[in-house]
Amino acid sequence: MQYFPLFFDLRLQKVLIAGGGEVALRKAVLLERAGAAITLVAPRVVPELERRAAAGSLTVVLREFVPEDLAGVRLAIVATGHRASNRWIASLCEARAIPVNVVDDRQASRVIVPAIVDRDPVLIAISSAGASPVLARRWRERLEAFVPTRLGELALWLRGLRAASRRRLRGTAERRRYFETLVDGPAADRFAAGDVRGAEQLAQRLLAADTARPPAPGHVVLVGAGPGDPELLTLKALRALSDADVILHDRLVSAGVLDLARRDAVKISVGKSPGGTGTSQAWINEQLVAHARAGRRVVRLKGGDPFVFGRGGEELEALAHAGIAYSVVPGVTAASACAAYAGIPLTHRDHAQSVTLVTGHSGEVGLEPDWRALAAERATVVFYMGLAGLEHIVAKLIEHGAPADRPAALISQGTLPAQRVILGTLASIADPARSQGIASPALLIVGEVAALHAELSWFGTDTAMSVSESA
């Protein structure tokens, strides 16, 4: 993140604008709304700036900029129309630690001015970090149509309820839940419809009920984070992340998914590394129970789907035994997602009549799958975590009747920009997997449908490498 987003209180603060054209006018109008004390310096200004100066909205000084104009300035906007002059003024600001925005010159700017959706006091700022102002402006236009016009009035009404909530509710968590219920429930709907009195009655009844009832019990939600692409997260999963007080997440949950969580939520990595090292399942279960008993809303965020090789069942058993309330939000599992992103249909009436999902690791007691059934014709087999035991899997399938030329595909970093696909056969897939440095997480798909990748691949560019290409 190149820029740190913040909102700057400029009421009665001195702001300098260097320049007197239409661009300077647009900046002045925006700064006036923020209550800034604006001084504009330029040898010539457009008529509208003269009119605003006569009305007392800002001060206009008709001359060239001089360094002394920066005395006491909290923010500088530079729009002289001359690149050399702009950069000279920017260098003076930088030497004085004055935040400066140079119009249309991202490299010379310390701050940039975003596109704004204004529902005062609610402001939504959209920035492309200077890469494409047009893109930011277009998204502002879209949000203008989406964001309710009375959103700012709703925010002011909710602010008026804060004093009463502080007096009557026990702590920060209770107050947050109270306001979440207001915003998500009928009170906000009443307010948006113009029924302020009805909204107020609902808010007061809810406050009285929250004061009388015992502390809210904790709750655990097992959430499937999907295979990595944040856009594959379900709406229910997004809501759970937004509400969570504590998030216990797997090692392979992508940063993009975690970024969707509430900023002040406690995030605890409980991932296990290849080979079985890392956080024990018993400790994870203990943490889920402990945080829920403390009255927190807990999300157990698991890669893919919680019930597909995710030990979600074991965690629910621990919660049920401890008397903790829980729910489950399914996720898009890696088998369907990675296969789809690789252009491999898991079933196809010409090639496969069944799909079997298998873990690539043997069970803790050394149990092996039914290799003869997995080697059957017209079937698709998907091996989760199949990279470490790839040679063993290939040998067992061939030993139990699968032809050595049966198509196979290995998918690494599926659904992510770094996705790689190696396409081959049972006899040939292992060598390129090692030589090309394929790393976990990786999914192995065995069956006639794997060969369809060559025809149906759509995600990314040049993601696939056949065995013949890697030789």
Q: Which residues are catalytic?
A: 250, 272
Model pTM above 0.85: no
Neighbours of 1 (CB within 10 A): 5
Closest CA to 301 of 254, 338, 339, 360: 254
Q: Rounded CA gap, 147 and 142, in Å?
A: 9
pLDDT score for 462 = 47
Across-strand partners of 382?
357, 445
Helix (DSSP H) and strand (DSSP E) numbers for the chain: 19, 18
Q: Are 41 and 61 in contact (CB under 8 A)?
A: yes
Q: Is 126 left (phi over 0), alpha (psi -120 to 50) or beta?
A: beta
Phi (first) and psi of residue 291, to 5 degrees: -70, -40
Q: Are 332 and 307 in contact (CB under 8 A)?
A: no
Secondary structure class of 27 (helix, strand, coil): helix
Backbone angles phi, psi at 78, to 5 degrees: -115, 120
Give the CATH architecture of domain 14-113: 3-Layer(aba) Sandwich (3.40)
Residues 374-395: b if buried by 16+ CB within 10 A, e if exposed: bbbeebbbbbbbbbebbeebbe
Q: What residue has token string 């599926």?
A: 414
Tokens at 258, concatenated: 């975690």
One digit per residue, the tens of pLDDT, for the chain of length 471 reads 788 999 999 999 999 999 999 999 999 999 999 999 999 999 999 999 999 999 999 999 999 999 999 999 999 999 999 999 999 999 999 999 999 999 989 899 999 999 899 999 999 999 988 888 899 989 999 999 889 889 999 999 999 999 989 888 878 888 888 898 899 889 998 998 889 999 999 999 988 887 666 666 789 999 999 998 999 999 999 999 999 999 999 988 988 999 999 888 999 999 766 555 678 999 999 999 999 999 899 999 999 999 999 899 999 999 999 999 999 999 999 999 999 999 999 999 899 989 999 987 654 445 789 999 999 999 999 999 888 889 999 999 999 999 999 999 999 999 999 899 999 999 999 988 888 878 878 999 999 999 999 999 999 754 445 554 433
DSSP one-letter code for 428: T
Separation of alpha carbons 279 and 119, rounded Å:
46
Return the pLDDT at 455: 93
Burial class (CB in 10 A: 0-12, 13-18, 19+), 298: buried
Task: Give residue 114's identity as a one-letter amino acid code.
Answer: P
328/206 Cα distance (integer angstroms):
27
Give the tokens for residue 275. Answer: 């080979």
β pairing state of 442-446 and 407-412: antiparallel
Tokens of 394: 């290939």
Report d(CA 471, CA 467) in Å as an integer.
6
| Count, residues in the chain | 471
Q: What is the DSSP string of 244-284?
A: -SEEEE-TTS-HHHHTTS-TTSEEEE--B-TTS-BS-HHHH
Cβ burial 448-470 (10 Å sphere, 16+ → b, else e):
bbbbbbeeebebbeebbbbbeee
Task: Name 249's Cβ contacts closer than 8 Å, sequence gap at least 6.
Answer: 225, 258, 267, 268, 269, 270, 271, 301, 302
> For the domain bounded by 335-470, which CATH number is listed?
3.30.950.10
Q: Given this chain, do its domains 14-113 and 335-470 carry the same CATH topology?
A: no
CATH superfamily, with its number, for domain 219-332: Tetrapyrrole methylase, N-terminal domain (3.40.1010.10)
Domain boundaries along the sequence of the chain = 14-113, 161-212, 219-332, 335-470
